[in-house]
Amino acid sequence: MKHADLKELLDEKALRYNSSEFIESDPIQIPHLFTKKEDIEISGFLAATIAWGQRPTIIKNANRLVEGMDFAPHDFILNHTTKDLQRFEGFVHRTFNYDDLLFFIASLRTIYVCHGSLENCFAPKPGDTNLKNGINNFRNIFFETAHLERSKKHVSDPFRNSACKRINMYLRWMVRPNDTGVDFGIWKNISPALLSCPLDVHTGNVARTLGLLQRKQNDWKSVEELDASLRKFNPEDPVLYDFALFGMGVFENIR
């Protein structure tokens, strides 16, 4: 497919799926319950963390988390008591369990007390062309709080060649402009040009079918290869095309 034809297709599909209807079946509906910046970024981070498996189950469990925080995540993170935490006993989403959740709550509290916001922890280095260093910086800060070794698997590491699908999805939510009411655009200090596509089986398969990705594995090397392809079409907002790739894969069954 010629460059112009492929761009036309991607733009058309992005326009179709980057709409409020997308929210109805996606975990992004969880942070859309809130208007306060800190509530949005905390609920979004927790929803993105457990965003693997069946989407109805993801949404159900993410709702349980924010309900347990009395629909005030920022206040809960800063002011919860030990007794408050008991309401989450028995929580589990696949391999993410109650112990992991207790650590996440503790670490988030440390971040807000010591760093002011989640956004500050993802700050890129001068000259960066993506958020690999930003993700790594966040991960280092996040695990400064005492934790079980098992909890490390719930925050992916691009320096270990992980595709970091859930973190990149979360970053898309926070950074991309709120032009159609899907993403939030509440993080103003990170450019959308630095975002990477949340690469999973759906986006990966469609990208390969369209000739945007040659590498077979869904890893960080593939993320950067796909980045390079998508930035040829829209260097200022390459992850706009996440909607196109994901939509064609999930809703149109293109492989």
DSSP for 158-212, please give it: GGGT---HHHHHHHHHHHS--SSSSS-----SS-GGG------HHHHHHHHHTTS
Pairing of strands 96-97, 92-93: antiparallel
Where does the pLDDT of residue 254 fall: very low under 50, low under 70, confident under 90, or very high at 90 and above?
confident
Backbone angles phi, psi at 89, to 5 degrees: -55, 135
Where does the pLDDT of residue 253 fall: very low under 50, low under 70, confident under 90, or very high at 90 and above?
confident
d(CA 90, CA 128): 41
Q: Mind listing the pLDDT tens digit for each residue in 221-240?
A: 999 999 999 999 999 999 99
**Alpha helices, H only, 25-130:** 37-49, 55-68, 73-79, 82-85, 98-114, 118-121
The answer, as to whether pTM is greater than 0.85, is yes
Q: Mind listing the pLDDT tens digit for each residue in 167-224?
A: 999 999 999 999 999 999 999 999 999 999 999 999 999 999 999 999 999 999 999 9
The radius of gyration of the chain from alpha carbons, rounded to an integer in Å, stands at 18
- Token pair for 128: 């960066």
- For residue 48, the Cα-to-chain-centroid distance in whole angstroms is 5
C-alpha pair distances (Å), 180 with each of 114, 157, 184, 204, 240? 34, 31, 9, 24, 11
Closest CA to 122 of 99, 107, 142: 142
Where does the pLDDT of residue 59 fall: very low under 50, low under 70, confident under 90, or very high at 90 and above?
very high
Closest CA to 196 of 137, 132, 243, 145: 132
Q: Is the dihedral of CA 91, 96, 102, 104 positive or negative?
A: negative
Task: State residue 232's pLDDT score.
Answer: 97
Rounded to the nearest 5 percent, the helix, strand and coil shares of the chain are 60, 0, 35
